[in-house]
Structure 1
Amino acid sequence: MKKKYQQNELSEIAKELLATVASKKLCFHGEMGAGKTTLIKAIVKELGGDGDVSSPTFGIVNQYQKSDGALLGYHFDFYRLNNESEALDFGLEDYLYSKGWIFMEWPEKVASLLPDDVAHIYLQLVDSTTRSIVVENN
């Protein structure tokens, strides 16, 4: 999947992305402001998530449920990690092998800890209202 999109197309992009990925472990790459968290919000909504979706920058991980209370998945923001051992300390490996969806922002901070079966989503700012997305399955 490779395309450009606008904010008002996020729901369609989320649907297309979910139909494209071969994994429930998604790595989101892009500079600050590229729309990683915004896209994750749209994906969680598309998957039937219930509640607020926000970047877990300070808490490192957020847990999301479906409207029936079942686990939907986990959202990580590794931006503030100083090294991979910090991710090991909070049990990243246990999360990665859970049955839920895994959304990871700044995955390059934990590159050697990532399993082989992740999908990489690359987001780029095109202009103030347009983003580009490239999805690569491993």
Structure 2
Amino acid sequence: MNITFSLEEINEVAQKILEQNPNKVMLFHGEMGVGKTTLIKALAKQLGITETTSSPTFSLVNEYQTTDNQPVYHFDFYRLNKEMEAMDMGADEYLFSGNWCFIEWADKIPNLIPDLHSVISLELLADGKRSLSLS
């Protein structure tokens, strides 16, 4: 799936992503400020999360519950220095739990990523819109 969108359309884009039946472990690639966290917030909303969501930059992982009590995990590994730090926090247990796992800066933990995963790549365009590809 490839799509170009404005931030005003992000909820519709999140719905379209979920309609593609992606793998539950989703890697988000893109430069800082491109909108990875904003898109994850929209995906969380589409999955039925009603609580406020935020970037787990300092905690590394935030856990949310959908309205039917299913956990959703949001990771931000930007601050990691070594992959072992993710192992120490039990990231592998989250990633192989069968629950939704949205991962920013997954390149910091290449050996922990399950084989079955989806990748969302975001790019900021000159006109302020975003280009998204899902694979």
TM-score (norm 1): 0.93
Identity of aligned residues (%): 47
- Matched residue type, 2:25: K
2:47 equivalent in structure 1:
47
2:30 equivalent in structure 1:
30
Q: Which deviations, in whole Å up to 9, do the C-alpha atoms of 1:69-114 show, x marking residues without a partner? A: x133100000000011000000011001113210000001101110
Q: What RMSD over aligned residues (CA atoms) do the two structures have, in Å?
A: 1.2
Which is strand-richer, 1 or 2?
Answer: 1
1:63 equivalent in structure 2:
63
- Residue aligned with 2:109, SS: helix
Gaps of 5+ in 2: none
TM-superposed deviation, 1:19: 1.5
Gaps of 5+ in 1: none
- C-alpha separation in 2, matches of 1:53 and 1:78: 17
2:113 equivalent in structure 1:
114
1:126 equivalent in structure 2:
125
8 Å CA contact 1:21–1:119 kept in 2: the answer is no
Q: Which deviations, in whole Å up to 9, do the C-alpha atoms of 1:24-75 show, x marking residues without a partner? A: 110000010010000000000001012011100000000011235x133100
TM-score (norm 2): 0.95
- Matched residue type, 2:45: K
2:90 equivalent in structure 1:
91
